[in-house]
Chain A
Amino acid sequence: MSTIDQSKIRNFCIVAHIDHGKSTLADRIIEKTGLLTSREMQDQILDNMDLERERGITIKAQTVRTVYKAQDGNEYILNLIDTPGHVDFNYEVSRALAACDGAILVVDAAQGIEAQTLANVYLALDHDLDVFPVINKIDLPSARPDWVKNEIEDVIGIEAQDAPLISAKNGVGIEDVLEAIIAKIPAPKGSAGNPLQALIFDSVYDSYKGVIVFCRIMEGRVSKGTKIKMMATGASADVVEVGYFGAGQFIPCEELSAGMVGYLTASIKNVKDTAVGDTVTDAENPCAEPLPGYKKVLSMVYCGLYPADGAKYPDLRDALEKLQLNDASLFYEPETSIALGFGFRCGFLGLLHLEIIQERLEREYNLDLVTTAPGVVYKVYKTNGDVVELTNPSNLPDPSEIDYMEEPIVTAEIMVTTEFIGSIMELCQERRGRYLGMEYVEETRALLRYELPLNEIIYDFFDALKSRSRGYASFDYDIKGYEQSELVKLDILINKEEVDALSFIVHKQSAYDRGRRMCEKLKDEIPRHLFEIPIQAAVGGKVIARETVKAMRKDVLAKCYGGDITRKKKLLEKQKEGKKRMRQVGNVEIPQKAFMSVLKLDDSK
């Protein structure tokens, strides 16, 4: 194989706010460069999980190599690295960006800059990428490209006057984008003669090949037989195959060298050995330094996952094991709940990640799940000097042993039209937000900056934000760190028995309100029994709220004549069937739904 001329390679990604057309543009680039005919194209090739298509977001980074014959007569290799589009996956995004030399910024011609536009573009600039803007959806009647151009220049400060005006949906202006990639994104640097230094930006598990490592070769070369070493995890292996990315397929090649993006396999059994951000080097001729920026991925949000049918516990374990093969950021360990039986405490990058895993378990593995309230990781400083990282409220040490507690705080940026500033500020205030400042992006839009406790935004903050801004606000956040906070454990007692699966950690100030709303909600969800059931919320053994499910006084089929026994029986069977879907806590049968209903306590009531 002839050596590839580095100057004819472009490694880039596309950054955008959700729904501004990132994936559609990616599809058009692939189509235009002839990798697939439009007939073969299934819309949005890169989002290949059903879930991604449905939600219109990219969950896992995807990469594709195409060849483009430019107007200068030369053929260029374009490596498009499509990055996940959600704050939960910010670290993955940052590693994917590190694998690129430039980025296309897609901005909606009607909506202009949004919170994620800013967050993503700053992330790209932080990685020293050359960014050029593209204005999409110019076919919309409400498109105002000139105004958007000015906004990009004013707010982000990058040149936008010659930004291609395109409609990815209709395939308009794609050629301009391709030419701009050649002109504005720099060719990779690095020398094939140096020791191997490659950045892992993703990996997938294949049952035949083992882990397939996606990497960008910064320096050196790698081919079949190279003995490689992962510098952070220390794992080493012999390369079995190297290659590059076709559309939805892996195409083997002889060698990957500096500047190229591709994959390698080395009979690696576990994605944990190929951590995103780690540096691959030649074990026999290692590079001096690993690439900067490696971080161990930490779970930010935890919750309990239980099979609705206790007998499905082994199935749930198998399913989690399989998902983890492809998702090193998914954490799980067995736990037992008095109310819910055997299950797992699972850790996620964020709430979206949690929802995705939950949906995949339900869809792909056909499991019916009961989820406990998601919580964040609290730091409990004990009086004896120990620090406990608390992921399950049930494990909170006795209050007498606790010196103080800390909770994670985020810095949030909320983009909102001016008319809703008041209601959004109110929302942030309610969620214990600390106001940092506000900038007017233009006359009618502002960027609000707040510090917010993570546990206040993981439930329904996004929903509340949308409903209080009629859908106009957009939101992004970064983890800032831990801060001391007055936290208490709120317990729910049903018929005087504590239901461990319903306990959660909450700020002292919100405890009363949350407890009251939990009790109200549970009262509606728990069916009447043969006896009265008190539902109580308690903090430190002191009851702070109470509701009562009244006893059922009458449940009798008075009339039973005519020998139509089948119908009577069906009635009783229905009643019994309903019970099967309940969880028994003491004498009380609690519907599975009740455990889930308390996750969303409507705020705007």
Chain B
Amino acid sequence: MRSMGVYIHIPFCVRKCVYCDFLSGPATRQRQQAYLEALLREIVWESGHYTDYIVKTIFIGGGTPSILEAEEIAKILDCLRAHYQIDADVEITLEMNPGTADQEKLLKLKRAGINRLSIGLQSADNDELKLLGRIHTYEDFLRTYYQAREDGVSNINIDLISALPGQHLDRWVRTLEKVVALQPEHISAYSLIIEEGTQLHDNRDAWAPVPEEEEDRLMYQETKRILADHGYRRYEISNYAKPGYECRHNRIYWQRGVWHTADFVGFGLGANSTVGDRRWENTKNMERYLSVFQERNVGLYDSRLAENRSVGESVKEDAIRLFDMEQMAEFMFLGLRMMEGVSKREFTASFEEDMDEIYGDALQKWIQMGLMAQDGDTVMLTDAGIDVSNTVLSSFV
């Protein structure tokens, strides 16, 4: 029996944020319902591939999945339970935005099986929230957070973005301090990346300049210090958790060796999958996605029909086979995002190759420059290495 993670993409939100380059946008209820229908069919349709897999994590991301009704989320999870083997200890995360669920909805979600909430706060400063085009205030967030706690959600992540236009260190520190006071189990804090195709990128002059590199770096250092003071450990470049609360689903993306669960399957528009040495991406074209599964007018829970794989077209695109060298590269550059680093023994166990023979020159160089460190069998980035990790990691691709 092999392990895998499942990702479910919900490409809808109330309003597009100015920095967002994810596949997401506002949509009518009808469109949302049609999508949900297709999504359920895809989940069923694909299930035949994964009869010998056990699902360890489920991550419902978006967009803002919490704009769906709690019953709809429950339907997705029921469908998964009906067609896949789910681990008793499964981690089920739902991404949500403040103001999209009241206490009752949160309770329903919890009952449906959601045991981890990832709340997109981004900033505790209402001016900054407005600037980012967020739909909520900090007070909205607090209400949602306390309600979830009251409902007994015991694993909560809060997403934050630093280096916002016009932001300075002290302002960022105030956001951090407010958030740590709430004692969530997990905090994601990444510095803003202005991606092409976002409002922030295309209309740059409309916003104040983003902080200079030096200040951005100070923000990172302060983040680490403040969070450490409050019992959070940085376990990945931008992720912090209290012991035992690291996000198990995201680990699957980063840890590609045989000692970990490395397979993940994505359902929904534009979702990515990697199973063994196969990788593909679902179509990003909504019309196409919907039409493929409309044609497959199979009874929703009739898995025998789903076995008939020759029917109709596929939503899978860009399917590739990963060569050994690519897998090794991913083991390195994804694994090194984790502070615990990568193990040489696991490398050998995964690829029957010696890490030093393949990457020895690079490793030696970075260790010498103090950007990487070695501890027994594992190698990892140092704090200095994290700051310039692209340079370091690119030497492994």
Interface residues of A (CB under 8 A from B): 530, 552-566, 568-569, 571-573, 575-576, 579
Contacts and interface: CB of A to CB of B under 8 A. Distances in A.
Contact of B193 (A559, A563, A564): A559
B390 A558 contact: no
Interface string B211-241: 0011011001000000000000000011000
Contacts of A557: 193, 237, 389-390
Among A552, A563, A573, chain B packs the most CB atoms within 10 A around the CB of A563
Interface of B: 7, 22, 61, 190-191, 193, 213-214, 216-217, 220, 237-238, 250, 253-254, 264, 266, 271-274, 279, 281, 318, 329-330, 333-334, 337, 369, 371, 386-391, 393-397
B216 A554 contact: yes
A560 B193 CA distance: 11
B217 A553 contact: yes
Contacts of A579: 394
B192 to A, nearest CB: 8
Given A563-B266, A572-B333, A576-B397, A554 B388 contact: yes
B250 A561 contact: yes
Contact of B330 (A561, A562, A565): A565
19 contacts: A530-B369, A554-B388, A558-B238, A559-B238, A560-B238, A560-B253, A562-B22, A563-B264, A563-B273, A565-B253, A565-B330, A566-B272, A569-B329, A569-B330, A569-B333, A571-B390, A572-B333, A572-B394, A573-B397
Nearest to A552: B388
Given A530-B388, A566-B281, 9 more contacts: A552-B388, A553-B217, A560-B334, A562-B7, A562-B61, A564-B272, A564-B281, A565-B272, A579-B394
A560 B254 contact: yes
A143 B329 CA distance: 70
B366 to A, nearest CB: 10
Contacts of B61: 561-562
A99 B395 CA distance: 63
A568 B337 CA distance: 12
A572 B272 contact: no
Contact of B387 (A553, A562, A565, A571): A553
Contacts of A576: 394-395, 397
A556 B394 contact: no
Among A553, A558, A571, chain B packs the most CB atoms within 10 A around the CB of A558
Contacts of B254: 560
A560 B337 contact: yes
A573 B217 contact: no
A3 B353 CA distance: 84
Given A563-B272, A569-B330, A554 B395 contact: no
Taking chain A's interface residues, is the majority helix, strand, or loop, or is none over half, making it mixed? loop
A573 B279 CA distance: 18
B238 A563 contact: no
A554 B397 contact: no
B214 A553 contact: yes
Contacts of B281: 564, 566
Nearest to A571: B390
A382 to B, nearest CB: 44
B321 to A, nearest CB: 13
A558 B391 contact: no
Contacts of B395: 576
B387 A555 contact: yes
A557 B266 CA distance: 22
Contacts of B7: 562-563
A344 to B, nearest CB: 30
Nearest to A577: B394
Contacts of B191: 556, 558
Given A563-B7, A576-B394, A530 B371 contact: yes
B397 A572 contact: yes
B282 to A, nearest CB: 11
Contact of A553 (B22, B190, B193, B213): B213
A558 B272 contact: no
Nearest to A561: B250
B190 A559 contact: yes
Contacts of B22: 562
Contacts of A568: 333-334
A562 B8 CA distance: 10
B238 A554 contact: no
Contacts of B337: 560
Contacts of B386: 556
A327 to B, nearest CB: 43
Contacts of A564: 272, 281
Contacts of B389: 555-557
Contacts of B193: 557-559
Contacts of A553: 213-214, 217, 387-388
A417 to B, nearest CB: 45
Contacts of B250: 561
A529 to B, nearest CB: 9
A576 B392 CA distance: 10
B242 to A, nearest CB: 20
A466 B31 CA distance: 65
A575 B213 CA distance: 19
Contact of B390 (A556, A562, A563, A566): A556
A563 B264 CA distance: 8
A568 B396 CA distance: 13
A172 B393 CA distance: 70
A471 B264 CA distance: 65
Nearest to A569: B397
Among B190, B220, B254, B273, chain A packs the most CB atoms within 10 A around the CB of B190
A563 B391 contact: no
A554 B274 contact: no
Contacts of A554: 213, 216-217, 220, 387-388
Contacts of A558: 190-191, 193, 237-238
Contacts of A569: 329-330, 333, 397
A588 to B, nearest CB: 13
Contacts of B214: 553
A569 B272 CA distance: 14
A382 B387 CA distance: 54
Contacts of A573: 394, 397
Nearest to B192: A558
Contact of A572 (B217, B220, B390): B390
A565 B263 CA distance: 13
Contact of A575 (B217, B334, B394): B394
A580 to B, nearest CB: 11
A554 B219 CA distance: 12
Among A552, A565, A569, chain B packs the most CB atoms within 10 A around the CB of A565
Given A569-B330, A572-B393, A573-B397, A556 B272 contact: no
Contacts of A556: 191, 237, 386-390
Contacts of B238: 558-560
B279 A566 contact: yes
Closest 8 CB pairs of A and B: A558-B190, A563-B272, A575-B394, A572-B394, A576-B394, A555-B390, A555-B388, A572-B397
A256 to B, nearest CB: 66
A560 B237 contact: yes
Nearest to B162: A558
Nearest to B391: A555
B20 to A, nearest CB: 11
A143 to B, nearest CB: 52
A563 B391 CA distance: 21
A565 B329 CA distance: 11
Contacts of A563: 7, 253, 264, 266, 271-274
A233 B217 CA distance: 71
Contacts of A555: 387-391
Nearest to A575: B394
B378 to A, nearest CB: 20
Given A530-B371, A553-B217, A562-B272, A575 B391 contact: yes
A579 to B, nearest CB: 8
Nearest to B236: A560
A530 B272 contact: no
